[in-house]
Amino acid sequence: MKILMMKTVQGSLDGVTVHELKAGTEYDTVDSPRGDRLAKYHIKQGVAVPALGRTGSVLAPEPKQASRKK
């Protein structure tokens, strides 16, 4: 599962090794039930959000509204 860190914390992506997980960075947890639990833990703690295919930027840009010329 991919997560986007919203806050820099010490944490694990595999349940064994502890790393500094930096705010604004996407991380992949290990592809196992343990990895899913770790991702959900970080999300529940409020330090991460699910990364839904974002690339390159921390936040997806807001769509521009069409101008209303009369």
> What are phi and psi for residue 3, nearest 5 degrees?
-130, 150
Query: Domain range holding 28?
Result: 2-50
70 belongs to a structural domain: no
Instruction: Identify whether 63 is part of a domain.
Output: no
Residue 20 covered by a domain: yes
Say if 13 falls within a structural domain: yes
Structure confidence at residue 70 as a pLDDT band (50, 70, 90): low
Decide if 43 is inside a domain: yes
Listed residue (59, 68, 62) closest to 23, CA to CA: 59
Q: Is the dihedral of CA 31, 20, 7, 54 positive or negative?
A: negative
Q: Per the structure, how many domains does the chain have?
A: 1
Residue 66 is predicted with a pLDDT of 56
Distance CA(47)–CA(31), nearest Å, equals: 20
Measure the CA–CA gap between 9 and 23, rounded to whole angstroms: 8
Residue written as token pair 């343990």: 34
pLDDT tens readout for residues 13-54: 888 889 899 999 999 988 889 989 999 999 999 999 999 865
Residue 56 domain-assigned (yes or no): no
Q: What is the pLDDT of residue 60?
A: 35
